[in-house]
């Protein structure tokens, strides 16, 4: 994603970013016990066991990928699939448009801003400290806190010099240089001057206790169902984030505006098409396990409906995956094609595909809603 912050992103921050603030000092005895192994060589300090991040690793949500990597060396790790399920990102579709029906934003696809990451933070048992300053802010006053967290064996989930989540896992020169795992660096670490630290940071500070399994499953199911039919969330420029069916319909409608766009708008719409479709496909990989795990946790008639939802899901052709394999829609880098190949025929195919996904998803969410209703009855008994 591009450096800086679009207006939609800024408003979303103001609307949904809660205060997860904890004590600033992460280097407590508790943190040291829960954190990973810290290795020191000369002035270089790093946490061992933080896996690499890279594009094309089937972990397209950089928040979930970075959170998995940050917690991997700790005493309480979570897998990418678990994070996608617990946060309900497995079933989220989102699309931003401004008041004029254009002004689209890459934040449509991200996981680090919205109800989803908040839900995971509440469920997972880790206490989190959130620091957000906005694009262009001087983040150097927070570098000592990053250093303390690393000393405690707790990597920090954050932006570096990209608007994609990364992991600060080490430093040199007492913190003058920070070491990152970064989607853009691949299997190499990214070393940056501390003043390049980005404007959003999530510090895991201590582990208490995870939310009870049934309660967590119910909360994840509630958010997944809500996101399919929820009202738009306000964004910048008088625009809004559309969710669920409305997002897929609005997205398809906006593709139809390509011929009326300026060259810059057209380029952005093309990019966001494949970028958001990649996120949609990535999320779909966790849907079956989401339904299976929530059914196991809830039991009873709720589980019956969730198994029905899984059966419907299993009968549906893998619509997103098929487009990737055929390379005939949402022409990302994997297709070997560029915007010149984004013909009216391809755009029509994309519109039809998004509408087919919406139609195929309706019965799945119907069964999920029935499961939620049965779970509520069980809770009232």
Enumerate residues 6+ apart whose C-beta is below 8 A from 377. 301
Q: Are 44 and 163 in contact (CB under 8 A)?
A: no
Closest by Cα among 264, 290, 296 to 365: 290
Instruction: Label residue 208 exposed, middle or buried (CB < 10 Å: 0-12, 13-18, 19+).
Output: exposed
**381 pLDDT band (50/70/90 cuts)?**
low
> What are the CA-CA distances from residue 43 to residues 32, 143, 145, 152, 171 (Å)?
20, 16, 17, 16, 8
Instruction: Provide the pLDDT for residue 316.
Output: 75
Instruction: Provide the pLDDT for residue 318.
Output: 77
Mean pLDDT of 253-271: 96
Tens-digit pLDDT profile for residues 23-55: 444 444 444 578 999 999 999 999 999 999 999
3-state SS, residue 126: strand
Q: Give 18-74 as a DSSP string.
A: ------S---SHHHHHHS--EEEETTEEEETT-----TTSS---HHHHHHHHHHTTS
Instruction: Provide the pLDDT for residue 30.
Output: 46
Mean pLDDT of 11-31: 47
Enumerate residues 6+ apart whose C-beta is below 8 A from 132. 13, 17, 199, 200, 201
Mean pLDDT of 345-354: 97
Q: How far apart are CA 28 and CA 20, in angstroms?
A: 18
> What are the CA-CA distances from residue 49 to residues 27, 39, 52, 153 (Å)?
19, 10, 9, 10
Q: How far apart are CA 108 and CA 277, in angstroms?
A: 11
Task: Tell me the two tokens of residue 201.
Answer: 């940071």
Q: Are 170 and 46 in contact (CB under 8 A)?
A: yes
**170 pLDDT band (50/70/90 cuts)?**
very high
Edge-to-edge strands, sheet with 94-97: 94-97, 240-243, 233-234
Mean pLDDT of 342-365: 97
Tens-digit pLDDT profile for residues 93-117: 999 999 888 889 999 999 998 899 9
Instruction: Provide the pLDDT for residue 55.
Output: 92
Q: Is the pLDDT confidence value at 161 over 50?
A: yes
Q: How far apart are CA 362 and CA 244, in angstroms?
A: 10
Instruction: Provide the pLDDT for residue 1.
Output: 47
Q: How far apart are CA 276 and CA 282, in angstroms?
A: 10
pTM across the whole model: 0.92
Q: Is the pLDDT confidence value at 322 over 80?
A: yes
Q: What are the phi and psi torsion angles at 284 (to 5°)?
A: -60, -20
Tens-digit pLDDT profile for residues 286-297: 999 999 999 999
Tens-digit pLDDT profile for residues 184-198: 998 899 999 999 999
Q: Which of 2-6, 24-28, 317-321, 373-377 has the lowest mean pLDDT?
A: 24-28
Tens-digit pLDDT profile for residues 52-97: 999 988 899 999 999 999 999 999 999 999 999 999 999 999 999 9
Whose structure tokens read 């019956």?
A: 304
Tens-digit pLDDT profile for residues 213-261: 999 999 999 999 999 999 999 987 789 999 999 999 999 999 999 999 9
Q: How far apart are the first and last CA of the chain?
A: 49
Between 13 and 182, whose confidence is greater? Answer: 182
Instruction: Provide the pLDDT for residue 4.
Output: 46
Q: How far apart are CA 269 and CA 44, in angstroms?
A: 43
């Amino acid at each position: 994603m591009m450096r800086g912050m679009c207006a939609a992103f800024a408003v979303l921050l103001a609307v949904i970013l809660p205060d997860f603030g904890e004590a600033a000092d992460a280097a407590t005895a508790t943190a040291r016990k829960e954190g990973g192994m810290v290795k020191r060589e000369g002035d270089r300090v790093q946490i061992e066991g933080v896996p690499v991040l890279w594009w094309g690793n089937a972990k397209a949500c950089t928040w979930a990928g970075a959170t998995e990597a940050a917690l991997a060396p700790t005493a309480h790790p979570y897998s990418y699939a678990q994070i996608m399920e617990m946060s309900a990102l497995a079933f989220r579709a989102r699309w931003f448009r401004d008041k004029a029906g254009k002004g689209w934003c890459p934040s449509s696809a991200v996981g680090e801003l919205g109800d989803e990451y908040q839900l995971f933070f509440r469920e997972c048992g880790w206490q989190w400290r959130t620091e957000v300053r906005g694009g262009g802010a001087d983040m150097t006053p927070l570098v000592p806190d990053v250093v303390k967290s690393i000393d405690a064996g707790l990597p920090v989930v954050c932006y570096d010099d990209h608007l994609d989540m990364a992991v600060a896992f080490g430093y040199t020169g007492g913190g003058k240089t920070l070491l990152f795992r970064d989607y853009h660096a691949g299997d190499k670490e990214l070393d940056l001057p501390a003043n390049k630290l980005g404007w959003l940071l999530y510090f895991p500070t201590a582990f208490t206790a995870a939310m009870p399994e049934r309660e967590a499953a119910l909360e994840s199911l509630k958010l997944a169902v809500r996101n399919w039919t929820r009202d738009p969330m306000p964004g910048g420029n008088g625009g809004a984030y559309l969710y669920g069916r409305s997002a897929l319909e609005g997205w398809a409608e906006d593709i139809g505006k390509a011929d009326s766009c300026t060259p810059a708008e057209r380029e952005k719409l093309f990019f966001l098409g494949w970028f958001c479709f990649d996120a949609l496909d990535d999320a779909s990989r966790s849907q079956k396990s989401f339904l299976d795990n929530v059914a196991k946790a809830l039991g009873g008639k709720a589980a019956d409906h969730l198994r029905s939802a899984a059966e419907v899901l299993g009968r549906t052709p893998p619509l997103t995956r098929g487009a990737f394999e055929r390379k005939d829609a949402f022409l990302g880098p994997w297709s070997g094609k560029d915007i010149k190949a984004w013909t009216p025929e391809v755009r029509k195919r994309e519109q039809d595909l998004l509408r087919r996904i919406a139609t195929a998803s309706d019965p799945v969410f119907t069964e999920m809603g029935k499961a939620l209703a049965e779970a509520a009855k069980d809770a009232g008994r």
